[in-house]
């Protein structure tokens, strides 16, 4: 776990240093998701601080808060919990129509009732690859609607209650597998940004 955290931090710092000279603007992003069934559900929201480059590439840190609830089939007792986490994201935007990217986070783990056989860890890593619709409206707000697939899919991932695709046994009708896929709706708001002034040819010649 420590190696994974150090790797994520290192990757973010290297990316930040590489693109620091290309920053053309900053944005605040807010995303949310909600899903549920008779056995439980989950809701969550995240806040992102994005640094945008001229290549229509945006990246930055994020924090997240989740709420989940569950009523396991073997009991009528209800469980619920809240957790938090942090990480970073990187999105590419194409033609003001679609986006694709990756979001990696370390999330607090209180999800022990989902799979008690899993080794309990205080924090669980997630790495989502994502993509979907992306549209900017009059330079005021950008709307993203996308699907997210968790490459790690930990046994006690706090997102298990939010998985939206279930595979059932055709004979029994029971759920035998749930794909680690969720959806998120995001809004990005541009922040005031002072562009770097490029010296004119006259100013350059006068300095010489």
Whole-number pLDDT of residue 196: 54
Is the pLDDT at 74 greater than 80? The verdict is no
* CA dist., res. 100 & res. 144, Å (int): 10
pLDDT band at 82 (very low <50, low <70, confident <90, very high): confident
* CA dist., res. 32 & res. 134, Å (int): 15
For residue 137, the SS3 value is strand
Between 160 and 118, the higher pLDDT residue: 160
Provide the mean pLDDT of the chain.
80
Q: Which two tokens stand for residue 141?
A: 């707000």
Whole-number pLDDT of residue 202: 54
- Strand locations in the chain (E): 23-37, 40-53, 57-70, 79-94, 98-108, 123-137, 141-150, 165-168, 175-179, 181-191
Is the pLDDT at 7 greater than 70? The verdict is no
Q: What is the mean pLDDT of residues 74-81?
A: 68
Between 124 and 111, the higher pLDDT residue: 124
Whole-number pLDDT of residue 176: 76
User: Per-residue pLDDT tens for 160-208?
Assistant: 877 888 888 788 877 778 889 999 999 999 998 665 554 555 554 555 5
* CA dist., res. 155 & res. 116, Å (int): 9
Quote the percentage of the chain above a pLDDT of 70. Answer: 71
Domains assigned to the chain = 2-207 (2.40.160.20)
Whole-number pLDDT of residue 204: 47
């Amino acid at each position: 776990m420590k190696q994974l955290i150090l790797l994520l931090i290192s990757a973010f710092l290297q990316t930040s240093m590489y693109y620091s000279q290309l920053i053309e603007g900053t944005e605040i992003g807010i995303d949310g998701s909600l899903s549920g069934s008779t056995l439980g559900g989950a809701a969550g929201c995240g806040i992102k601080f994005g640094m945008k480059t001229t290549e229509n590439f945006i990246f930055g840190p994020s924090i997240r808060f989740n709420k989940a609830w569950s009523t396991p089939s073997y009991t009528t007792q209800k469980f619920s919990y809240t957790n938090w986490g942090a990480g970073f994201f990187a999105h590419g935007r194409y033609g003001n129509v679609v986006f694709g990217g990756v979001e990696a986070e370390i999330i607090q783990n209180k999800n022990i009732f989902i799979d008690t056989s899993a080794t309990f860890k205080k924090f669980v890593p997630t790495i989502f690859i994502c993509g979907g619709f992306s549209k900017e409206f009059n330079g005021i707000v950008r709307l993203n609607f996308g699907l997210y697939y968790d490459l790690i899919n930990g046994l006690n991932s706090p997102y298990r209650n939010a998985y939206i695709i279930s595979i059932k046994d055709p004979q029994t009708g029971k759920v035998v597998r749930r794909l680690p896929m969720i959806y998120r709706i995001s809004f990005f708001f541009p922040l005031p940004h002072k562009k770097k002034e490029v010296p004119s040819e006259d100013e350059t010649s006068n300095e010489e």
